[in-house]
Amino acid sequence: MTKDECKKLVLDIIADIAPDEDLSNVKSDVKLRDQLELDSMDFLDIVMELRKQHSIEVPEDQYEQLASLDSCAEYLTPKFNALV
C-alpha cells in the first residue's frame, strides 16, 4: 500500500464516521481535528475501524501518530505492508 492509498483509506473511514464532513479540502499536513468537526469519540471510532476492517492495532500511547493525514500515512503504511 502506498502512502496516498493509506490517506484515502483514512479519509474513507472518516467519511463513514462523519458523513456530514466535507473532506474535499482536507490538508495532509494539518491536524485532522483542527480541520474537521471530530471529537475524541470520532477519533476512537477511527482507531476501532482500523482494527475492525484492517486488523491494525494502534496503542493508545501512539494515537498522536494519527493526528494528520501525513502522519497517518507515515505510521500506518508500514503496518499495512506488514500484513501482506
Domain count, the chain: 1
User: 60 and 17 in contact (C-beta within 8 Å)?
Assistant: no
Query: Can you list the alpha helix ranges (DSSP code H) found in 18-68?
Result: 32-35, 40-54
pLDDT digits (tens, 9 = 90+) for 1-33: 999 999 999 999 999 999 999 999 999 999 999
Domain span at 41: 3-83
83: pLDDT strictly greater than 90: no
Rounded alpha-carbon distances, angstroms, from residue 25 to 22, 29, 56, 82, 83 = 7, 12, 26, 30, 30
pLDDT tens digits, residue range 41-57?
A: 999 999 999 999 999 99
Closest by CA to 62, choosing from 50, 29, 7, is 50
CATH number at residue 44: 1.10.1200.10
Whole-model pTM: value is: 0.92
